[in-house]
């Protein structure tokens, strides 16, 4: 797992993100480990290949490693500087900005939000249309072979096309962008929580996510494009705000405003909201998803900008819908842009509906918790397989593809054909051949349809439309729905975690809608609401039971159905499902964050943290390394070479025996001084203008780099550096008697990277210690204070 603080003295460690091999740290069994962790050698006799162990070996001390799994790649990570660094240079930069520059900054933030929404909407529409047309052509040729009774040819064609599409998606993820695998939402949550996830929001990830999503979803595997769309929106936001990346990065003057972690965080929040909006055509739901699920820090100005981005997405999607309405976009009419619209359906509630609706909510919570538990174990198993290298990742993805193709192709043969309703047959609606519809003929004679083929031989989006359809209570057989539910439960568990872009939303929606219809059929005597609406309630309940979202899900389903009459009953189901699910385990995204080792700070601290003070926590660590306001160059170089910390307290000693805390200086700022060799021949304080002549805020925003790149002569090593222009004189400080529980809340709420601890009474040293997010994580504290584990069990 990746944390900021190590067991070495002082400030905050950080390892430069940079490229890392896909599996950097393995023991002889191929299990991912921390090379800096002495316990990871297995010398303590622990079986670290057990499925009960974390994916990355944890250190039994207050601090742990800097490793986490980002996408499908083991990476070195560090925290982000969301806190405003109020040093002299920053203050002068803001004071010197004219009104025009301030207005330019505000305008550019809104312009960026607009571009994020515009591009996300266009890319989402292109992905939708590509998936619908590729899948449509594949299904059309496969059905023609089945109609000709060339069953083996049909299977080989169907499985071969799926294999090729999966191969393209998997190769792109395994070779070119391992961090593009999976949905990307856990990494976005961690980033917005203050954890830098390297190589996550670049151009390769964006390109691989787009092409890989098209290939993976078109291959028929049980995964959705919703999670990848959130990641795509975040990638677009990052690239636009930074002008690209690497050597292709644009250095335009106006982009300097966004060369900081705070503004980049806000734009990535807009991108995540836009991705959800593009996936579900839900602008308000997208904003609430960011607020409820991914964002840690929020304010009213950000609310307006995210809403502006999602509104832009909706306008783009509406334009594509109008263009595609006449069938000009390919095989499936409106190109998968509309999931479900029941604005014309009048919903009537009865007292008798209360019991079955409650049952939908309870089952949604139970099944969601069970799904999280089983998926937890599957992901551990997949980690052992993926740790064996690229070929193992590719083979696993292709094996899942072959199994999926066999299930989707063969299962419709196991159910009998159903005769078409006379009215539907006369209208030419039933059966449907080679196009989207509820009544796929498949292997049935004229006048009959295969209800299971209508669900399995379609894109996930089209299957959702079919199973959500109203006025079709007798369309799907109970045995067909049971088979559909069972196969999608299995496929949903084995598909997530392979090395392709994948999302959890639509697989969970399909499973939930299936059990909702099953309940409606079983309890037909007590059900007065349309079976299609029970499918909607089942989907909402299972999503809430697994993801533990309520408000955003409610609004998303409300905007999907376009029917306000469903609001009260949807709220009721979501609250029940979340309450039941919370009684068993955390949400699926919290489980994935923990498995990946991303140091995510939860909003609610553990109860036993109230019994521990930050002073006691600091005493469990070596003393913090401090620097003087005017420090020798050789001392600064030695500190940077001997420690990986990212922040150092600066102490001022105006006279002998008296010391006071001046502030905190960042490693990146020290590196900027060393690179420019801004040294003094004598030990003195500089004037304000001296630092301003040499440094700009843009230069200080650059990443630290390596100390080994700096070459200094012996004469330069004996010179001095005045740190006061670069020192943040207003760092967040807490008194040593503060409880850890209160410190966790402050750290998370203020989006801190460092928290300085000062003594309650004045003493010879003005600082007791320094804490980072790693020091405030529960499992690290329990490693240093094992007696608290008993209190944890009691609570």
pLDDT band at 614 (very low <50, low <70, confident <90, very high): very high
For 731-768, the DSSP string reads --EEETTSBHHHHHHHHHHTT-S-EEEE-SS--S-S--
pLDDT at 426: 67
The 3 state secondary structure assigned to 83-121 is: CCCCCHHHHHHHHCCCHHHHHHHHHHHHHHHHHHHHHHH
Looking at residue 168, which CATH number applies to its domain?
1.10.3080.10
Q: From residue 110, give the alpha-carbon distance in Å to each of 125, 240, 504.
A: 23, 12, 31
C-beta of residue 783 within 8 angstroms of C-beta of residue 640: no
Is the pLDDT reported for residue 439 higher than 90? no
pLDDT band at 734 (very low <50, low <70, confident <90, very high): very high
- Is pLDDT larger for residue 676 or for residue 93? 676
Is the pLDDT reported for residue 75 higher than 60? yes
- Measured CA to CA, the distance from residue 237 to residue 293 in angstroms comes to 18
pLDDT at 41: 31
Q: Shortest CA distance to 640 belongs to which of 620, 678, 666?
A: 666
In the numeric block, the tokens 């070479």 are attached to: 641
pLDDT band at 693 (very low <50, low <70, confident <90, very high): confident
Q: Is 287 exposed, middle or buried (0-12, 13-18, 19+ CB in 10 A)?
A: buried
pLDDT at 794: 52
pLDDT band at 795 (very low <50, low <70, confident <90, very high): low
Structure tokens at 213: 């999503």
- Is pLDDT larger for residue 622 or for residue 314? 314
User: Does 635 map to a domain?
Assistant: yes
User: Does 178 map to a domain?
Assistant: yes
pLDDT band at 31 (very low <50, low <70, confident <90, very high): very low
User: Does 290 map to a domain?
Assistant: yes
CA 664, 670, 672, 678 dihedral sign is: positive
- Which region among 13-27, 49-63, 251-265, 312-326 has the lowest average model confidence (pLDDT)? 13-27
Is the pLDDT reported for residue 452 higher than 80? yes
Question: What's the maximum distance between 2 C-alpha atoms anywhere in the chain?
Answer: 100
pLDDT band at 116 (very low <50, low <70, confident <90, very high): very high
- Which region among 528-532, 573-577, 599-603 has the lowest average model confidence (pLDDT)? 528-532
C-beta of residue 730 within 8 angstroms of C-beta of residue 661: no
| Domain final position from 305, 325, 345 | 325
- Which region among 112-121, 367-376, 622-631 has the lowest average model confidence (pLDDT)? 622-631
pLDDT at 170: 96
- Measured CA to CA, the distance from residue 702 to residue 37 in angstroms comes to 30
pLDDT at 44: 36
- Measured CA to CA, the distance from residue 548 to residue 578 in angstroms comes to 5
3-state secondary structure of 388: coil
| Domain final position from 273, 303, 325 | 325
pLDDT at 706: 83
Structure tokens at 308: 């502006």
pLDDT band at 720 (very low <50, low <70, confident <90, very high): very high
- Which region among 5-14, 193-202, 424-433, 657-666 has the lowest average model confidence (pLDDT)? 5-14
pLDDT at 433: 66
Under 8 Å CB-to-CB from 189, ≥6 apart: which residues?
Answer: 293, 294, 296, 589, 593, 600
pLDDT band at 167 (very low <50, low <70, confident <90, very high): very high
Element (H, E) at 557: helix 551-561
- Measured CA to CA, the distance from residue 340 to residue 462 in angstroms comes to 10
- Measured CA to CA, the distance from residue 788 to residue 795 in angstroms comes to 11
pLDDT at 9: 36
Is the pLDDT reported for residue 777 higher than 50? yes
Element (H, E) at 366: helix 354-386
pLDDT at 466: 81
Over residues 32-55, mean pLDDT: 38
Range of the domain at 194: 113-325
pLDDT band at 788 (very low <50, low <70, confident <90, very high): confident
3-state secondary structure of 326: coil
In the numeric block, the tokens 């430069």 are attached to: 16
User: Does 314 map to a domain?
Assistant: yes
Parallel, antiparallel, or unpaired for β 733-735 and 755-758? parallel
Helical segments of 600-661, H only: 614-619, 633-642
Is the pLDDT reported for residue 455 higher than 90? no
pLDDT at 55: 52
pLDDT band at 436 (very low <50, low <70, confident <90, very high): low
Over residues 202-231, mean pLDDT: 93
Over residues 393-401, mean pLDDT: 95
Is the pLDDT reported for residue 104 higher than 80? yes
- Is pLDDT larger for residue 61 or for residue 27? 61
Q: Shortest CA distance to 731 belongs to which of 701, 700, 707, 752?
A: 752
Structural domains of the chain, count: 2
Over residues 554-567, mean pLDDT: 84
* Dihedral over alpha carbons 205, 206, 209, 210 (to 10 degrees): -160
- Is pLDDT larger for residue 458 or for residue 771? 771
pLDDT at 63: 56
Percent of the chain with pLDDT over 90: 44
- Measured CA to CA, the distance from residue 744 to residue 518 in angstroms comes to 45
Residue 650: phi and psi, rounded to 5, are -110, 125
- Measured CA to CA, the distance from residue 438 to residue 453 in angstroms comes to 9
pLDDT band at 36 (very low <50, low <70, confident <90, very high): very low
C-beta of residue 618 within 8 angstroms of C-beta of residue 757: yes
Over residues 396-406, mean pLDDT: 96
User: Does 653 map to a domain?
Assistant: yes
pLDDT band at 533 (very low <50, low <70, confident <90, very high): confident
| Domain final position from 268, 291, 325 | 325
Over residues 201-207, mean pLDDT: 93
Under 8 Å CB-to-CB from 23, ≥6 apart: which residues?
Answer: 30, 32, 74, 386, 387, 388, 389
C-beta of residue 89 within 8 angstroms of C-beta of residue 692: yes
For 141-190, the DSSP string reads HHHHHHHTT-HHHHHHHHHHHHHHHHHHHHHIIIII-GGGSB-SHHHHHH
Parallel, antiparallel, or unpaired for β 733-735 and 720-722? unpaired
Rounded (5°) CA angle 301-307-311: 150
Q: Shortest CA distance to 484 belongs to which of 142, 155, 222, 139?
A: 222
Under 8 Å CB-to-CB from 131, ≥6 apart: which residues?
Answer: 213, 214, 217, 218, 225, 336, 459, 461
Q: For 341-359, write each residue's pLDDT tens digit.
A: 555 566 677 777 888 899 9
pLDDT at 96: 75
How many CA atoms, within 13 angstroms, populate the side-chain half-sphere of residue 445? 1
Is the pLDDT reported for residue 791 higher than 70? no
- Is pLDDT larger for residue 17 or for residue 720? 720
- Measured CA to CA, the distance from residue 666 to residue 89 in angstroms comes to 13
C-beta of residue 134 within 8 angstroms of C-beta of residue 142: no
User: Does 377 map to a domain?
Assistant: no
User: Does 200 map to a domain?
Assistant: yes
Looking at residue 719, which CATH number applies to its domain?
3.10.580.10
Answer whether 0.85 is exceeded by the pTM: yes
Is the pLDDT reported for residue 689 higher than 90? no
Under 8 Å CB-to-CB from 583, ≥6 apart: which residues?
Answer: 365, 369
User: Does 44 map to a domain?
Assistant: no
């Amino acid at each position: 797992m990746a944390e900021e603080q190590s067991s070495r003295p002082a400030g905050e460690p950080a390892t430069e993100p940079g490229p890392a091999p896909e599996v950097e740290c393995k023991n002889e069994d191929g299990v991912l480990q921390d090379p800096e962790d002495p316990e990871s050698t297995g010398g303590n006799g622990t079986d670290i290949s057990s499925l009960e162990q974390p994916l990355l070996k944890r250190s039994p001390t207050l601090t742990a490693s800097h490793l986490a799994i980002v996408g499908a790649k083991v990476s070195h990570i560090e925290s982000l500087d969301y806190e405003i660094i109020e040093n002299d240079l920053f203050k002068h930069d803001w004071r010197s900005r004219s009104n025009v520059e301030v207005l330019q900054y505000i305008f550019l933030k809104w312009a960026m939000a607009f571009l994020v929404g515009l591009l996300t909407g266009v890319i989402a529409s292109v992905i939708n249309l590509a998936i619908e047309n590729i899948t449509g052509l594949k299904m059309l040729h496969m059905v023609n072979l089945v109609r000709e009774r060339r069953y083996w040819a049909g299977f080989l064609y169907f499985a071969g096309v799926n294999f090729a599409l999966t191969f393209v998606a998997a190769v792109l993820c395994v070779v070119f962008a391992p961090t593009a695998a999976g949905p990307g939402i856990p990494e976005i949550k961690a980033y917005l929580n203050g954890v830098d996830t390297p190589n996550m929001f670049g151009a390769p990830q964006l390109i691989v996510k787009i092409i890989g999503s098209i290939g993976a979803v078109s291959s028929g595997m049980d995964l959705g494009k919703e999670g990848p769309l959130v990641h795509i929106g975040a990638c677009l936001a990052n690239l636009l705000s930074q002008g690209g990346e690497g050597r292709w990065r644009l250095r335009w003057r106006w982009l300097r405003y966004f060369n900081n972690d705070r503004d980049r965080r806000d734009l990535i929040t807009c991108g995540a909201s836009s991705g959800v909006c593009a996936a579900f055509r839900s602008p308000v739901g997208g904003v609430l998803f960011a607020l409820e699920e991914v964002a840690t820090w929020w304010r009213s100005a950000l609310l307006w900008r995210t809403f502006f981005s999602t509104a832009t997405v909706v306008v783009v999607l509406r334009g594509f819908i109008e263009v595609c309405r006449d069938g000009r976009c390919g095989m499936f009419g409106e190109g998968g842009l509309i999931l479900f619209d029941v604005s014309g359906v009048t919903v009537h509630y009865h007292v008798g509906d209360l019991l079955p609706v409650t049952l939908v909510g309870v089952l949604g919570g139970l099944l969601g918790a069970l799904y999280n538990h089983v998926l937890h174990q599957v992901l551990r198993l997949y980690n052992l397989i993926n740790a064996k290298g690229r070929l193992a990742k590719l083979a696993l993805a292709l094996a899942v593809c072959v199994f999926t193709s066999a299930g989707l192709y063969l299962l419709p043969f196991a159910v009998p054909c159903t005769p078409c309703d006379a009215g539907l047959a006369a209208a030419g609606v039933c059966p449907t051949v080679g196009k989207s519809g509820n009544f796929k003929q498949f292997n049935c004679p004229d006048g009959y349809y295969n209800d299971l083929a209508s669900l399995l031989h379609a894109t996930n989006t089209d299957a959702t439309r079919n199973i959500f359809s109203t006025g079709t209570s007798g369309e799907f057989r109970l045995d067909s729905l049971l088979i559909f539910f069972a196969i999608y439960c299995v496929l949903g568990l084995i598909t997530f975690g392979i090395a392709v872009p994948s999302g959890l939303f639509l697989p969970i929606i399909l499973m939930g809608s299936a059990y909702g219809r099953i309940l409606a059929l079983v309890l037909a005597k007590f059900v007065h609401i349309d079976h299609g609406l029970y499918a909607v309630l089942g989907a909402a309940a299972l999503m809430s039971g697994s993801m533990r979202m309520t408000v955003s899900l409610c609004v998303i389903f409300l905007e999907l159905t376009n029917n306000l009459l469903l609001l009260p009953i949807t709220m009721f189901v979501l609250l029940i499902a979340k309450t039941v699910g919370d009684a068993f385990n955390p949400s699926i995204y919290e489980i994935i964050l923990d498995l990946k080792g991303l140091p995510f700070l939860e909003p609610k601290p553990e109860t036993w943290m109230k019994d521990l003070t930050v002073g006691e926590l600091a005493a469990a660590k070596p003393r913090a390394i401090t620097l003087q306001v005017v420090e020798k160059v050789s001392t600064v170089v030695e500190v940077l070479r001997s420690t990986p910390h990212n922040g150092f307290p600066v102490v001022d000693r105006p006279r002998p025996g008296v010391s006071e805390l001046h502030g905190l200086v960042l490693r990146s700022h020290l590196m900027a001084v060393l690179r420019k060799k801004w040294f003094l021949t004598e030990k003195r304080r500089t004037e304000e203008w001296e630092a301003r002549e040499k440094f700009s805020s843009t230069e200080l925003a650059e990443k630290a780099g390596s100390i080994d790149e700096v070459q200094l002569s012996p004469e330069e090593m004996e010179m001095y550096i005045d740190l006061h222009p670069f020192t943040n004189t207003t760092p967040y400080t807490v008194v040593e008697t503060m409880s850890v529980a209160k410190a966790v809340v402050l750290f998370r709420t203020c989006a801190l990277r460092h928290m300085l601890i000062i003594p309650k009474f004045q003493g010879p040293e003005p600082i007791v210690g320094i804490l980072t997010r790693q020091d405030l994580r529960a499992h690290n504290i329990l490693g240093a204070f094992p007696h608290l584990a008993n209190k944890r069990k009691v609570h």
